[in-house]
Structure 1
Amino acid sequence: MDLTKPTLLLDEKKCKQNIENMISRANQFNCNLRPHFKTHQSLIVGNWFRDLGITQCAVSSLEMAKYFFNGGWTDITVAFPLNILEHTIVNDLAGKIKLNLCVESFETVKALNEFLEHPVGIFLKIDAGYHRTGLDAENFTEIEAILKALESNHLITIKGFLQHAGHTYGAKGKAEIDEIHTYTSEKMIKLKDHFLKKYPDVIISNGDTPTCSVSENFEHIEEMRPGNFVFYDVMQAEIGSCQYDDIAVAMACPAVAKHADRNEVIIYGGAVHFSKDRIEKDGKTIYGLIAEEKENGWGNPISGWYVKKLSQEHGTIHVPDEAFDQIKIGDLLYILPIHSCLTGNLMSKYYTLDGEEIEMFRYMS
């Protein structure tokens, strides 16, 4: 493969192994796996799930749901608060597939009841500690009022309670991940138990890669909804969700300049390719790690090498003295992204190590 510019490479073998591992964990804990496709956003990668028996997915927008419906997916949860302005696409999709939506306010339910034309499933989006959005898991009064408003509509099936423990992304190690998982699970189980007599079929849907990757106790949690695990990334490796060898994507970037006095190598690869997500480690701000090159792909990060700055197209890599002369202008460096979801979205396509181009979903203007 002749690489001349920033190119997002996908190791198909690692990716498929990550998928198999998560399916195995879901089976181990008797959980339904509904993988979130917002990380890979690709029909081809989606088919790798389907080849292993997965027939349902989650997405982050109605447009993305339409893209996967066109690829043959017919059981889709839009794990994002319903945008009532998109009522036309809601009705279009609901007339063709099993569509699940998320609500978190009486105002949204009122609008939904007014425009809905076909059956849908509804999850109440719950805040169990992340504090990004969602109904307070302990506010039973508000939740009950919304449930009553939903059950008044014969087109609506109340599916259950959905939450994302995104605060696990700030964890360091399995113990902290488990602590958050225990806290959020207890809140969600208490919530379900409160309403179980009146709504005996409701389920809990939990969706974050760290807990789904390493935690053990999923008793009373019916559905796993992770997404990032399909590729993993530097952030997940540092959290403890995976090993660096599990990371299935890397950006190949050409070296275009060198500055020995600052131990800096400039690559063609900037914020428009990686995003500006970063981690703090050992007193350094890191926007990516440089992996060792292997005959067919890449290995683990090289000690002391890291992306220290990003501007629009420029990336600045710190390289230790003893290794500086190893890099020549025109060399390709393999960068492990901090956040593979955003990097994939920015690049809009992948290339497998065999040179196959894999297209992704794109938003229409």
Structure 2
Amino acid sequence: MGISKPTLLIDREKVALNIDKMIKTAAEAGCIFRPHFKTHQSKEVGKIFRKKGVKQITVSSVSMAEYFAEDGWNDITIAFPCNILEIDSINNLAKEVELQLMTDSAFTADFLSKNLTSNCGLFIKIDVGYNRSGLKYNTPEIDEIIKLCEYNNNLTFKGFLTHDGRNYSAKGKVEIENNLAEAIEIFKHLKQKYPEAIYSWGDTPSCSLSDDLSFFDELRPGNFVYYDVMQYHIGSCTLDEVSVAAACPVVSINKSRNEIVIYGGAVHLSKEFIAADNSFTLFGYAVKLENNKWTNPINGAYVSRLSQEHGIINMPEAELDNFKPGNIIGILPIHSCLTADLLKNEYFLI
């Protein structure tokens, strides 16, 4: 395995264990398991899911749906507000697969009712407090959208879908459980009025930590397949469950500042960060690579700064002499979804 530039290492065994764990969570809750593939965006990783019996998936774009449809996935939900400018691609895709779209707009639903040429399912996005997209549970627009579906052969109302992004900044299980309880109360109002609808839930922290997800019909977590430093800090996973590391060449060492410069910057790792303990900004943990695997984080070593191509690692003085230009060092990413996207053309599944 020759590495000469930033490369994503994907630990196949850890991926498989993470999938097994979430399949069990969904089964215990009595839920359909429709994992989100936006984290890995990999046909090879997708095949691991398929071997474990997964048949239904979630993606975040039309192009991602097309990519996985090429590999035989034929039951796909695009969990992103429908972009009507892609109607031609949507129609082509809907001829080949069972496709579910998502909207929070009666305008979009009306457009789809007039322009779809094949049947698509439609989920209505509900805002449970994240304030990114979605309708409030009591808005009249929900009924408008459902009526448009009732009078159209190519648009079938499926249910309600949400993603509680608040959980990605939560401080542990108690806050996540409180967010979940609030969301369930919101969905209960809808369930009284629409008891036959599918209620679809998806975020990795709650799906990893919550004790009871049985209210929902479907779970759509995505990040769990790789996990990352952010999930570790939330409490969603252990460091041993993080299944990816970015392998980056060492290009310079500054002993006066106890710093290592790597070829691995914002265009490889993203600029996601955590304001961690002791008031420092954390862009990733540094790990040693051994036999194509990685160790636990080097004590006191972390990515402290990023520019476009440069990454700066603060390295304890006692560890500096273990590295020289030309070595490869691993970085556990803050947000694996972004790092995997940035390195999707440079990776090894090991």
- Please indicate, yes or no, whether the TM-score normalized by the shorter chain is above 0.5: yes
More displaced stretch, 318-327 vs 257-266:
318-327
1:203 to 191, 198, 220: 198
Per-residue CA deviations over 1:302-340 (Å, capped at 9, x if unaligned) read 221000001111100001222222222222111101111
TM-score (norm 2): 0.97
Gaps of 5+ in 2: none
How far apart are residue 295 of structure 1 and its match? 3.6
Q: Supply the distance in 1 between the matched residues of 2:290 and 2:171 (Cα, whole angstroms).
A: 29
1:267 to 240, 256, 262: 262
Q: Which residue number in structure 1 is paired with residue 6 of structure 2? A: 6
Per-residue CA deviations over 1:166-193 (Å, capped at 9, x if unaligned) read 1100012111111111111221232222
**Number of positions where the alignment pairs a residue of Structure 1 with one of Structure 2:** 348
2:340 equivalent to 1:351: no
Q: Any residues of structure 2 matched to 1:202-351 within 5 Å, and which?
A: 202-282=197-277, 283-349=279-345, 350-351=347-348
How far apart are residue 294 of structure 1 and its match? 3.6
How far apart are residue 145 of structure 1 and its match? 2.0
Checking the alignment, whether the CA contact within 8 Å between 1:161 and 1:192 is kept in structure 2 is: no
Q: Supply the distance in 1 between the matched residues of 2:93 and 2:291 (Cα, whole angstroms).
A: 45
Cα-Cα RMSD: 1.2
Checking the alignment, whether the CA contact within 8 Å between 2:289 and 2:328 is kept in structure 1 is: no
How far apart are residue 293 of structure 1 and its match? 3.4
Q: Could you tell me which amino acid in structure 2 is paired with residue 268 of structure 1?
A: Y
Q: Could you tell me which amino acid in structure 1 is paired with residue 276 of structure 2?
A: K
Q: Which residue number in structure 1 is paired with residue 86 of structure 2? A: 86
How far apart are residue 2 of structure 1 and its match? 2.1
Q: Supply the distance in 1 between the matched residues of 2:289 and 2:342 (Cα, whole angstroms).
A: 23
Q: Supply the distance in 2 between the matched residues of 1:144 and 1:55 (Cα, whole angstroms).
A: 31
Q: Which residue number in structure 2 is paired with residue 165 of structure 1? A: 164
Q: Which residue number in structure 1 is paired with residue 26 of structure 2? A: 26
Q: Supply the distance in 2 between the matched residues of 1:247 and 1:225 (Cα, whole angstroms).
A: 19
Per-residue CA deviations over 1:252-277 (Å, capped at 9, x if unaligned) read 11111111121111011111111111
How far apart are residue 89 of structure 1 and its match? 1.2
Q: Supply the distance in 2 between the matched residues of 1:280 and 1:273 (Cα, whole angstroms).
A: 20
TM-score (norm 1): 0.93
Checking the alignment, whether the CA contact within 8 Å between 1:245 and 1:299 is kept in structure 2 is: no
Q: Could you tell me which amino acid in structure 2 is paired with residue 173 of structure 1?
A: G
Q: Supply the distance in 2 between the matched residues of 1:117 and 1:6 (Cα, whole angstroms).
A: 43
Which secondary structure does the structure 1 equivalent of 2:213 belong to? Answer: coil
Q: Which residue number in structure 1 is paired with residue 38 of structure 2? A: 38
Q: Could you tell me which amino acid in structure 2 is paired with residue 298 of structure 1?
A: W
Q: Supply the distance in 1 between the matched residues of 2:11 and 2:133 (Cα, whole angstroms).
A: 34
Which secondary structure does the structure 1 equivalent of 2:299 belong to? Answer: strand
Checking the alignment, whether the CA contact within 8 Å between 2:123 and 2:160 is kept in structure 1 is: yes
Q: Supply the distance in 2 between the matched residues of 1:20 and 1:219 (Cα, whole angstroms).
A: 18
Q: Could you tell me which amino acid in structure 2 is paired with residue 245 of structure 1?
A: D
Q: Supply the distance in 2 between the matched residues of 1:40 and 1:211 (Cα, whole angstroms).
A: 19
Q: Supply the distance in 2 between the matched residues of 1:235 and 1:69 (Cα, whole angstroms).
A: 30
How far apart are residue 292 of structure 1 and its match? 3.8
- How much identity, in percent, do the aligned residues show? 48
Which secondary structure does the structure 2 equivalent of 1:136 belong to? Answer: coil
How far apart are residue 281 of structure 1 and its match? 0.3
Q: Supply the distance in 2 between the matched residues of 1:297 and 1:132 (Cα, whole angstroms).
A: 38
Checking the alignment, whether the CA contact within 8 Å between 2:130 and 2:165 is kept in structure 1 is: yes
Q: Supply the distance in 1 between the matched residues of 2:126 and 2:148 (Cα, whole angstroms).
A: 17
Gaps of 5+ in 1: 354-365
Q: Could you tell me which amino acid in structure 1 is paired with residue 95 of structure 2?
A: G
How far apart are residue 296 of structure 1 and its match? 4.1
Q: Which residue number in structure 1 is paired with residue 52 of structure 2? A: 52
Q: Which residue number in structure 1 is paired with residue 110 of structure 2? A: 110
Q: Could you tell me which amino acid in structure 2 is paired with residue 208 of structure 1?
A: D
Checking the alignment, whether the CA contact within 8 Å between 1:192 and 1:203 is kept in structure 2 is: no
Per-residue CA deviations over 1:191-246 (Å, capped at 9, x if unaligned) read 222222xxx2x111011010111112212200000011110111111111100110
